[in-house]
Amino acid sequence: MTAVIATISLKGGVGKTTVTAGVAEFLAGEFGRSVLLVDLDSQINLTTMFLGDARWLALNSAGHTLATLFADAVDGTAEFSLENTRQRGVSTVRGVGGIDLIPSSLDLIEVTEEVSAMRVRTDDTLAGVSALRDALAPITNDYDIVLIDCPPNMGPITLNGLAMADAYIIPTIPDVLSTYGIPQVQTYIGRFGDEIGRRLVELGVVITKYKANSAVHRDTVTRLRRDPSIQNVLPGYLGEANAIAAAAAFAEYPTLRAKYGRTQFDQFRELAGTILIEATAKIPAATP
The model's pTM is 0.94
Q: Out of 124-133, 170-179, 203-212, pick the least confident.
A: 124-133
Cα–Cα distance, 24 to 97 (Å, whole number) = 10
Residue 288 has pLDDT above 70, yes or no: no
272 belongs to a structural domain = yes
pLDDT value of position 70: 95
49 belongs to a structural domain = yes
30 belongs to a structural domain = yes
225 belongs to a structural domain = yes
Distances (CA, A) of 287 to 2, 141, 163, 190, 229: 7, 12, 20, 24, 26
pLDDT band at 123 (very low <50, low <70, confident <90, very high): low
Task: State the average pLDDT over residues 270-279.
Answer: 96
pLDDT band at 33 (very low <50, low <70, confident <90, very high): very high
Q: What CATH number does residue 81 fall under?
A: 3.40.50.300
- pLDDT tens across 141-174, in order? 999 999 999 999 999 999 999 999 999 999 999 9
Q: What is the average pLDDT score of the chain?
A: 93
288 belongs to a structural domain = no
pLDDT band at 210 (very low <50, low <70, confident <90, very high): very high
- pLDDT tens across 222-247, in order? 999 999 989 899 998 999 888 788 88
pLDDT value of position 181: 87
User: In sequence order, which residues have a C-beta less than 8 Å from that of residue 109 and are 6 or more positions away?
Assistant: 42
pLDDT value of position 224: 93
Residue 39 has pLDDT above 50, yes or no: yes
pLDDT band at 124 (very low <50, low <70, confident <90, very high): low
287 belongs to a structural domain = no
259 belongs to a structural domain = yes
Residue 287 has pLDDT above 50, yes or no: no
- pLDDT tens across 3-27, in order? 999 999 988 888 899 999 999 999 9
CA 74, chain centre distance (Å)? 24
Which runs of consecutive H residues, i.e. helices, occur in 103-230?
108-122, 131-140, 156-164, 176-179, 182-196, 215-226
275's enclosing H/E stretch is helix 262-282
Residue 175 has pLDDT above 80, yes or no: yes
Q: How many independent structural domains does the chain possess?
A: 1
Task: State the average pLDDT over residues 201-220.
Answer: 95
pLDDT value of position 243: 79
Residue 125 has pLDDT above 80, yes or no: no
pLDDT value of position 12: 83
Cα–Cα distance, 215 to 218 (Å, whole number) = 5
Residue range(s) defining the domain that contains residue 230: 3-282
pLDDT value of position 244: 82
